Structure 1
Amino acid sequence: MNNTELDHIYDQAYKRGKLAWNQMVSKGESGYLRALDGIVQTGDIASEFSLGLVEIPIHKIIGTYTHSRSISFAHNFMPLMNFKTEFASKWMHLYQHHIESGITDPIKVYEYLNHFFVIEGNKRVSVLKFVKGTSISGYVIRLIPKRDPYDKINNIYYEFMKFYKQTNINTIWFTEEGRFEELLDYVNRYQPNHIDDDTKKLFIANLYRPFRQIYLEGGGDKLAITTGDAFLAFLKVYGMPREILLEQHKNNIHKMIDELKSIEQESVNVKTDEIQSPKKKSMLSSLTDFVVPKKVLKVAFVYAKTTDSSGWAYAHELGRLHIDNVFKTQLATSKIENIPENEEAYITFKQLADEHYDIIFTTSPTFVAPALKAAMEYPNVKFFNCAATHSYKSLTLYFGRIHEPRYLLGMIAGAMTQTNIIGYVAPYPISEVISSINAFTLGAKAVNPYVKIKAMWTYRWDNPEGGKFIAQKLQAEGADIISNEDLPIPGDISKEYGVYKIQEESNEKTHYAMALWNWGVFYEKVIQNILSGTWKSIHEESINPQFPMNFWLGMNTGIVDLLYSNRHINSSMKYLIEGLKKSIIRNEFNIFEGPLYDQHNILRVMPNTVLDYEDIIHMDWLVDGVEGQLPDIKELKPTDPFSYMKGIIKK
């Protein structure tokens, strides 16, 4: 290359540097390259460790070692020194060398929190960033920060170090704890087309790098998550291919970006009141129905278990039978049972969509990932998933505020206990379960301040047999009242559901009450509005019509309710329950109103403050009065159905 060409190249790099510098200064920040000595103090470091010669991703190199060297570069590593300096001459020489032979001399860097700061080789990095290089070899000294379990970034970094020790992968980072362990499971299961000793390198080369390129080109860099977060979510929804190819996967990755944008929105679009029935048609529109007969809606209900082995599936089946009875010939429904609670469920959803079903209700929270995948692939099919979280762009979620009747159940349990020890069988530590435990405890303590709630976990959603086993353990620990699964299995006469008392001598059970799920109420309103063509207007009339909607319906709609024994509950208790139930329905009583303290006596809800939707569906603490701990989701088995959806549902 001649001098004129080199001058032109350096001028381009210099202009990029000045632009980046000006942009940072306009924000009130330093425009110079970040310097490690301004970020880390000696007391912050627990130890140093040499990693030897490592292939370093260029995008992970974000700064230099000292401030004195940082002023030669802008924040983006582009040069700030003018043409007449020795610096510019050396930079251009390095550029020419890279074009002719490639930069092969290793640099020397410090690694801190999975970012790299250059000790020797700043100009080499600058040139490679200018030409959009992908990596450079370097001798790495890792600076290990002191352990701080209360700092999320510190926790993530220590998880990263364990992950790196097993994989030598340093190009991926996450914003949430537990995700490196999840990614490790994918890395260990990866089987490339060609057998190679280093499948971990192929995992990055065949999957992550092409994903990253497509993701960033599609606008993924505008999201507040890392590419690693998006990559893991993609694997969970679409599965792990042997290779990500532009032609084959670009469309799916771009759909995923749209969904992640929807999840990231701070605005909540949740419907908490009753879905209105469509208005009556005019005579003219009614007459046209005789001329143009309407298509019969095909509606599918997908169950994780059979309706005769699961109270949860049975409750949804009652909802299906209800709409069959209401709409008769206007629709045709089908039930599909015993569908695996993992990525294999997608096969069923895809088959139903290919069979031209108009509406598909996937009735378990464990189906959210495969349902999302199918919903993105079939935009003309209305997919619904039963889970208490944010809606996605393609998938509508629905659930009930089950903590409302749970509060009333707690009152009954608190009044009936003689030992002041109540056992609570908890399935899986997701927010709707946590909020239910808390509401139950608050209800129990409202009538009996001496009561303690012992909570134990089955670690599985909808697990009647596991619930019975945990109930026995709770009884052995002194609980005379048990709160178990919400719903009975058809034909079950054991009474081991809802709230019941165990007679110690005879082991007989006295059943007091249970929470009810009336899914038919929801399904009927949905079908009415879809048949009448007014379903779209429900979204248009919402607070945020540009965002997808989900439904979080309470006792005011009838979707959740309470059934109690007239025989075993006295009249004064019935009067109290009915009065409070009316207050909840009228929104005159708020279950989660402060002051509320957690198990560690930390004030979680200030006096006269009421928790809102976001606070409740992301609840991750237990109230004072609960004995038992929240399981660490990161330590639960990856094979559990709920671990499959972690990271897809907003935390």
Structure 2
Amino acid sequence: MSESYNRARKLGLKQFHRDEVAGAFPYPPALDDLLEGQGRLPRVHVGTVELDPALVVGTKTRARQNIFASNFLPIAPEGSEFATKWSALCESQLEEGTREPIEVFEYLQRFYVQEGNKRVSVARYLGSPTLPAKVVRVMPAETDSPQAKAYLEFTRFYSVARIYGIVLTHEGGYARLAELFGEDLEHRWPDEKRDALRRLFSRFSKAYGEHADDVGLTAGDALLVALSVCGLDELSRQRPAQLAETVERLRGEFAALSGQASVAYLEDPDATPDEPGVMEKLVSSLRSFYSVYQSAVEGPTKVAFVYDQSPMTSRWVAAHEEGRHDLERRLGDQVETFAYPSAYEDDDFDAVVADAVERGASLVVTVSPTQMAQTLRAAVKYPDVEFINCSVSLSHDAVRIFSGRLYEAKFLLGALAAAISKDHRIGYVAESPVYNSVAEVNAFARGAEMVDAHALVYLEWVEEAGNDPREAFAKQGIKVVSGHDFPDPLHPEEPWGLWYDAGDGLDIQLGAPVWNWGLYYERLVQSLRNDTWRAEGERLPAQTLNYWWGLSSGVVDVHVDEDVPEPQRRLVELLRQGVVSGTVDPFSGELLSQERPIQPEGSPRLPSEAIARMDWLAHNVAGHVPPTELLTEGARRAVEVNGVAESVLGETDEGGDPA
């Protein structure tokens, strides 16, 4: 069998030299070296399992480490005692298979051989699918690191599914995987479910390794993305060629999750990310001319709006529906729109999107973060249609997102509230604790503090089960309140915006934030018609695009009631001009949270990502984020998709909208 050894050794030496050139360690790593300095970690005897040889990555100790390349193929000289024993073992395995289990230590789902190095090497060379192995698990040190948390969740997954090799790097991943298979991490999985997962992972990881392994995501994380987008039934019935196509179409999503694709916050609709050269400008002009000409020939741009609720009952959906009608008024026969209300369930959503595509929609708009999973699934299914979701920081390659810097308007209203309040106290009604809403609370508090250094903002959450913000404010005698951003379609008489409780049931509106959704949608549609949409994608190929426009764009504004005294109205206008020009910003300078300093005096504006994903409350906010279990069902779903981690936020003893 020296011929087999010679071939195996050539493969081993090839890997050895490749590692040397790359500056990588050319031998299998030793577990003892990896764990040096950590003391004796807890060990668990797992028992004997059938182990994929590809999961064996190293040796327990350094002994005999240097006779293997990093891929566990031999590099010892031909004619050596080791070569003779390796050849004999190879012949034995070909004739009889492997009977005696190897002995391995498992650490973070990687295996290190204590006894049976040659058996692993031969199995690797022969391509054996499994090896019997006695496994001892080495538990990682107890830390709060994401890796340790994810691994502890894996141990729960293994106890019920008995599957090694599916590496998920984010806490919650194994629970989500179990949920997608209709199981959990508490009860033993039926054999058919376990075998189905093994088969699917084997097929998927092969396609992933051949078509997208370079994106830097584990095959397990990639499978979880594919299952979340395509669904278990669809993915399970795909043949190898279809799986390969699915993997190719999800490359951008894999890159986004792995961190290779950064988020581009496009904060000015009239600005370009980089100044193009002369030739680029010429090409862009020609594309724009052709696009306009083509649109004139082919007719109006068709846009579908898919809502998860009805505009008859939802403030948020009603505002977007008015924006849709305004879009039609603005663009006339250049655009045709159609709306699909209350498409909440997956089947309903898929059906209305299919109808929109059949009717020739070029753009599909969804208006809630909770629709992102559905929107992403549709975007992968219909790659020739553009999809956009109204949310913040839900970064995906196939779906662009849009929202607005409403916190700028809330900053102005905070200043107005402090100018009106006579006792330094202001009430603030927030919807649910999702990203963006926290920035709006803090911007409001910053505006109030700018006018009144003693201003205190009392925060109440609408979506906290059993909570009545108005009743809470009445008990505390708070008169100036920042309420809902929109009127209630079912109860239009209820106060909204910034209002003053004058007593005896009389509420006086002072002002309100303004969303100009029609203008927003007009600009988005025009970007499709004049080819700016495609140009932005080409200019930022490795980034996920987030349209995040503010006061300077006109899509966000503030209304101050004409009955507000003239000095206060002038104050708001002066601050508004400062925000539009960039000379005033709510999140520049010294920032203090309830628990710690955020940045010192003289600091520039916080980065866009830090604002969009703000997870702290300003020091002059009296309130906290309620625990998830105290939220309403709808709010829990929103927080699960795009929520702020409540454990990060401070809580005091003193007692946003969906995007």
Alignment TM-score > 0.5, same fold: yes
Letter matched to residue 176 of structure 1: H
SS at match of 1:51: strand
**1:79 and 1:269, CA in 2 relative to 1: closer, same or farther beyond 3 A?**
same
Number of the residue aligned with 2:399:
395
Whether the 8 Å CA contact 1:182–1:638 is kept in 2: the answer is: no
Instruction: Please say if 1:94 is aligned against 2:112.
Output: no
Task: Indicate conservation of the 8 Å contact 1:296/1:331, yes or no.
Answer: yes
2: CA distance between counterparts of 1:292 and 1:420? 58
| Structure 1 residue 336 displacement after superposition | 0.8
**How far 1:208 sits from its partner (Å)?**
2.2
Letter in structure 2 aligned against 1:557: S
Task: Indicate how the Cα distance of structure 1 residues 239 and 69 shifts in structure 2: closer, same or farther if over 3 A, else same.
Answer: same
1:130 aligned onto 2:122: no
1:336-355 CA-to-partner distances (Å, cap 9, x unmatched) read 10111657523321231123
Paired residue for 1:65? 60
Alignment check: 8 A CA contact 2:268 2:552 kept: yes
Provide the residue aligned with 2:523 in structure 1. Answer: 525
Query: For the Cα contact (< 8 Å) 1:239–1:343, is it kept in 2?
Result: no
Is the counterpart of residue 178 in structure 1 residue 177 in structure 2? no
Does residue 225 of structure 2 align to residue 225 of structure 1? Answer: no
Check the 8 A contact 2:142/2:148 in 1, yes or no. yes
The answer to whether the aligner puts 1:201 opposite 2:201 as a matched pair is: no
Match in the other structure for 1:335: 339
Q: Are the equivalent residues in 1 in contact too, given 2:628–2:636 (CA < 8 A)?
A: no
Tell me whether 1:84 sits opposite 2:79 in the alignment.
Answer: yes
Which amino acid counterpart does residue 401 of structure 2 have in structure 1?
L
Paired with 1:566 and 1:38, the residues of 2 have a C-alpha distance of 74
Q: Please say which of residues 625-634 and 110-119 is displaced more in the overlay.
A: 625-634
| Cross-structure match for 1:255 | 249
Q: Does 1:167 align with 2:171?
A: no
Secondary structure of 2:384's counterpart equals coil
* CA gap 1:535/1:224 in 2 versus in 1, 3 angstroms: closer
Partner of 2:435: 431
The corresponding residue for 1:156 is 150
Where do 5+ consecutive residues of structure 1 fail to align?
191-195, 461-465
Shift of 1:111: 2.0
1:34 pairs with 21, 29, 36, which one?
A: 29
Q: Is the 8 A contact 1:598 1:604 kept in 2?
A: no
Query: Distance between the aligned counterparts of 2:23 and 2:630, measured in 1?
Result: 42
Report whether the alignment pairs 1:214 with 2:210: no
Query: 1:144-184 deviations in whole A, cap 9, x for unaligned?
Result: 233222x2222222222233333333322223222222222
Aligned mates of 2:520, 2:444 — CA distance in 1: 24
**1:374 counterpart residue number:** 378
**1:142 pairs with 2:116:** no
> C-alpha distance in 2, partners of 1:117/1:240?
33
- Three-state SS of the structure 2 residue aligned to 1:300 is strand
Any idea what the Cα deviations from partners look like across 1:521-541, whole Å, max 9, x if unmatched? 12112333434555544556x
Q: Residue type of the partner of 1:80?
A: I
C-alpha separation in 1, matches of 2:219 and 2:294: 54
Q: Could you say which residue in structure 2 is the equivalent of 1:552?
A: 548
**1:610-649 aligned within 5 A:** 610-629=605-624, 641-642=637-638
Tell me the SS of whatever aligns to 2:26.
coil
Q: Contact 1:404–1:555 at 8 Å: present in 2 too?
A: yes
What's the secondary structure of 1:75's corresponding residue? coil
Would you say the 8 A contact 1:24–1:30 is kept in 2? yes
**Does the C-alpha gap of structure 1 residues 476 and 77 become closer, same or farther in structure 2, counting only changes over 3 Å?**
farther
Report the alpha carbon displacement of residue 317 of structure 1 after superposing the two structures with TM.
1.1
Is contact 2:433–2:639 with CA below 8 Å preserved after alignment? no
Moved more, 580-589 or 529-538: 529-538
TM-score scaled by structure 2?
Answer: 0.83
**Corresponding position of 2:652:** none
1:564 equivalenced with 2:564 (yes/no): no
| Contact 1:61/1:115 (<8 A) preserved | yes
Task: From the superposition, tell whether residues 386 and 467 of structure 1 become closer, same or farther in structure 2 (CA, over 3 Å).
Answer: farther
TM-score by length of 1: 0.84
CA 234–329 in structure 1, closer or farther in 2 if over 3 Å, else same: same
Residues 376/575 of structure 1: CA separation in 2 closer, same or farther (3 Å cut): same
SS at match of 2:58: strand
Partner residue of 2:584 out of 589, 593, 614:
589
Are 2:305 and 1:305 aligned?
A: no
Residues 546, 164 of structure 1: alpha-carbon distance in 2 compared, 3 angstrom cutoff = closer
Structure 2: which 5+ residue stretches go unaligned?
Answer: 273-280, 644-659
Q: Is the 8 A contact 1:106 1:137 kept in 2?
A: yes
Whether 1:345 aligns to 2:349 is yes
The code of the aligned residue for 1:306 comes to S
Contact 1:302–1:360 (8 Å) recurs in 2 = yes
In the TM superposition, residue 386 of structure 1 has moved relative to its aligned partner by 1.6
Distance in 1 between residues matched to 2:199 and 2:104, nearest whole Å: 27
| Residue range with higher mean Cα deviation, 386-395 or 173-182 | 386-395
Q: Which moved more, 1:548-557 or 1:525-534?
A: 525-534
Q: Which amino acid aligns with 1:205?
A: R
Give the equivalent residue in structure 1 for 2:232: 240
Secondary structure of 1:53's counterpart equals strand
Describe the shift of the 1:187–1:420 C-alpha distance in structure 2 as closer, same or farther (beyond 3 A).
farther
Percent identity, aligned pairs only, is 28
Aligned residue type for 1:241: D
CA distance in 1, matches of 2:21, 2:450: 56
Does the aligned pair in 2 maintain the 1:72–1:79 contact within 8 Å?
Answer: yes
Alignment of 1:439-458 (within 5 A): 439-455=443-459, 457=461
Looking at structure 2, the residues matched to 133 and 454 of structure 1 have their Cα atoms a distance apart, in angstroms, of 65
Secondary structure of 2:513's aligned partner: strand
Q: CA deviation at 1:86?
A: 2.4
The Cα of 1:91 is off from its aligned counterpart by 2.3
Shift of 1:400: 1.0
- The CA distance in 1 between the partners of 2:404 and 2:579, in whole Å, is 14
Name 2:276's counterpart in structure 1: none
Q: Distance in 2 between matches of 1:26 and 1:112?
A: 28
Superposed displacement of residue 548, structure 1: 5.7
SS at match of 1:551: strand
One-letter amino acid of the counterpart of residue 148, structure 2? N
- 1:498 matched residue in structure 2: 497
Q: Which moved more, 1:508-517 or 1:315-324?
A: 508-517
Q: Which amino acid in structure 2 is aligned with residue 526 of structure 1? A: L
